[in-house]
């Protein structure tokens, strides 16, 4: 199964097998990932498709599930048309749940049971929470192998917490509180206490018969999968959102083709570097505005040896002389492309002996979709049309000409920093080993 947001080529990532190797780690059972996404969220309206760090919330877990290559099918169970549209754009099939299991009082188990009733081919259900955006394919693979390889019947995600717990007492009752998990007279240091395992809600995997017969997902031969704290993110209320956004930018999964280092960036002038407006003076002179934040963003990329090429089309209303002045000011080359930009930029990528995974692309409209899909990192401004937004891996908060390019530049450099940190950690791990 392939994603609308990434390459379909077989690729091993973080230990995740390609689909051909998957057969070596699973039996003939039909394994389905199921993400529950009701439209009636009370805490955050339509929370499941609200944009988080440039991606619909549900898109983070769908990308990880699809790219894990561990599932025979990936489903979103929903009662909402807009959620269905987003789910399909991110590579999932859609199960339209009934009103009976779409109420505020409906439980997850009831909803999954209904799904199983209409999908008798499914043998193992992997319920992945849409509100856990730092899920990676390797989490899915390692946890699922506890069922398919190690013989467990169910597995759920936990995180290790170092928190001392006390009994709650009613105010005015005179009752004294008591500790649940420590002796205050021998209060341990953090480094001397292993902590406790707590459910983090990321996922619950179980064989069909447990859910159908026992009406829960933690039964039979049961075990847990421990996730590191940096990946244990759960969004419940609005206050969680800005914290989750910062965490996912650093620890989220951005796809198989995310480059370690971007070598080349293409950026549309109209709609990305500018807001598409042309000002005409009384004397007939044309003018456009370029945001200083975006100019700084280009400079940041160039200082990191990222070549930036500005793109303009034959239909672009900006005068060619004015375009050249913009390019000279930004110290960038300008390329004019036709109705199919890919036909032109592909030659540039080939001539520079680069792969598309080493390329970043910032586009704005329908003509850019193919390039947005191919690029290792791709983005559109926040005011881009839906057709382009669906193809991009990152959707900026800011609009074109108002800092969107700077935002994408910072995103590119953050990915580079993360890749560098990971290489350094790998080097330390190999040395210690």
Q: Is the per-residue pLDDT at 394 higher than 80?
A: yes
Q: 264-420 is classed in which CATH architecture?
A: 3-Layer(aba) Sandwich (3.40)
Domain 19-251, CATH number (from 3.40.640.10, 3.90.550.10, 3.30.70.100, 3.50.50.60): 3.90.550.10
Q: Nearest CA to 77 among 62, 60, 64, 55?
A: 62
Q: Is the per-residue pLDDT at 7 higher than 70?
A: no
Q: What is the band of 368 on the pLDDT scale with cuts at 50, 70, 90?
A: very high
Read out DSSP for 143-155? Answer: HHHHHHTT--SEE
| pLDDT at residue 163, rounded to an integer | 92
| pLDDT at residue 27, rounded to an integer | 57
Contact between 279 and 269 under an 8 Å Cβ cutoff? The reply is no
Compute CA distances 37 → 41, 76, 78, 103, whole Å. Answer: 9, 7, 5, 12
Q: Is the per-residue pLDDT at 26 higher than 70?
A: no
Weakest mean pLDDT among 48-62, 171-185, 416-430: 416-430
Residues 6+ apart with CB under 8 A from 92: 35, 62, 65, 66, 74, 75, 76
Which residues on adjacent β-strands are paired with residue 13? 16
pLDDT digits (tens, 9 = 90+) for 232-255: 988 877 778 888 888 887 788 877
Which residues on adjacent β-strands are paired with residue 224? 156
Q: Is the per-residue pLDDT at 362 higher than 60?
A: yes
| pLDDT at residue 260, rounded to an integer | 60
Q: How many CB atoms lie within 10 A of CB 339?
A: 10
Residues 6+ apart with CB under 8 A from 186: none
Report the chain's mean pLDDT, rounded to a whole number: 85
State yes or no: is 189 an active-site residue.
no
Catalytic residue chosen out of the listed positions 187, 329, 423, 427 = 187
| pLDDT at residue 314, rounded to an integer | 74
Q: Nearest CA to 247 among 414, 379, 65?
A: 414
Q: Where along the chain do its domains lie? A: 19-251, 264-420
Q: Is the per-residue pLDDT at 220 higher than 60?
A: yes
The H-or-E segment that residue 131 falls in is none
| pLDDT at residue 16, rounded to an integer | 42
| pLDDT at residue 307, rounded to an integer | 93
Q: Is the per-residue pLDDT at 44 higher than 70?
A: yes
First to last CA, the chain: 36
| pLDDT at residue 421, rounded to an integer | 57
Q: Is the per-residue pLDDT at 99 higher than 80?
A: yes
The H-or-E segment that residue 204 falls in is strand 196-207
- Distance from chain centroid for Cα 113: 27
Contact between 206 and 217 under an 8 Å Cβ cutoff? The reply is yes
The position carrying tokens 């598409």 is: 276
Give whichever of 17-31, 198-212, 287-301, 324-338 has the largest mean pLDDT: 198-212
- Read off the tokens for 100: 């009976």
Weakest mean pLDDT among 8-17, 117-126, 393-402, 407-416: 8-17
Q: Is 354 exposed, middle or buried (0-12, 13-18, 19+ CB in 10 A)?
A: middle
pLDDT digits (tens, 9 = 90+) for 157-166: 999 999 999 9
Q: Distance between CA 100 and CA 112 in Å, rounded?
A: 12
Fill in the DSSP letter of residue 358: G
Q: Is the per-residue pLDDT at 22 higher than 50?
A: no
| pLDDT at residue 276, rounded to an integer | 73
Q: Nearest CA to 34 among 76, 80, 79?
A: 76
| pLDDT at residue 433, rounded to an integer | 42
Q: What is the band of 135 on the pLDDT scale with cuts at 50, 70, 90?
A: very high
Q: What is the band of 8 on the pLDDT scale with cuts at 50, 70, 90?
A: very low
């Amino acid at each position: 199964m392939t994603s609308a947001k990434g390459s379909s080529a077989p690729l091993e990532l973080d230990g995740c097998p390609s689909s051909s190797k998957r057969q070596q780690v699973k039996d003939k059972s039909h394994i389905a990932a199921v993400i529950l996404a009701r439209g009636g969220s009370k805490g955050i309206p339509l929370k499941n498709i609200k944009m988080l760090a440039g991606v619909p919330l549900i898109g983070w877990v769908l990308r990880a599930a699809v790219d894990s290559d561990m599932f025979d099918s990936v489903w979103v169970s929903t009662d909402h048309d807009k959620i269905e549209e987003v789910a399909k754009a991110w590579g999932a099939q859609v199960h339209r749940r009934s009103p009976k299991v779409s109420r505020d009082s409906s439980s997850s188990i009831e909803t999954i049971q209904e799904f199983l009733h209409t999908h008798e081919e499914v043998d193992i259900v992997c319920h992945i929470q849409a509100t856990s955006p730092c899920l990676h394919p390797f989490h899915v693979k390692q946890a699922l192998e506890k069922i398919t390889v190690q013989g467990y019947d169910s597995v759920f995600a936990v995180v290790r917490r170092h928190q001392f717990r006390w009994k709650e007492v009613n105010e005015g009752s005179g009752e004294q509180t008591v500790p649940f998990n420590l002796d205050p007279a021998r209060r341990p240091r953090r480094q001397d206490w292993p902590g406790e395992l707590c459910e983090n809600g990321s996922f619950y995997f179980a064989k069909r018969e447990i859910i159908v017969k026992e009406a829960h997902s933690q039964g039979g031969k049961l075990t847990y999968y421990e996730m590191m704290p940096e990946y244990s993110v759960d969004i419940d209320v609005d206050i969680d959102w800005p914290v989750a956004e910062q965490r996912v930018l650093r620890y989220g999964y951005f796809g198989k083709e995310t480059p370690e280092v971007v070598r080349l960036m293409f950026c549309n002038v109209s709609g990305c570097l500018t807001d598409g407006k042309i000002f005409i003076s009384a004397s007939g002179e044309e003018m456009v505005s370029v945001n200083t934040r975006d100019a700084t963003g280009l400079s940041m990329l160039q200082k990191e040896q990222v070549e930036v090429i500005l793109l303009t089309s034959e239909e672009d209303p900006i005068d060619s002389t004015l375009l050249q002045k913009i390019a000279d000011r930004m110290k960038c080359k300008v390329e004019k492309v036709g109705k199919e930009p890919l036909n032109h930029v592909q030659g540039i990528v080939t001539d520079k002996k680069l792969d598309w995974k080493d390329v970043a692309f910032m586009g704005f409209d329908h003509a850019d979709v193919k390039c947005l899909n191919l690029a290792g990192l791709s983005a559109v401004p926040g005011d881009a049309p839906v057709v382009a937004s669906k193809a991009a891996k990152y959707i900026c908060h800011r609009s074109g000409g108002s800092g969107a390019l700077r935002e994408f530049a910072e995103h590119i450099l953050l990915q580079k920093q993360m890749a560098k940190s990971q290489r350094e950690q790998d080097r330390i791990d190999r040395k210690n080993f």
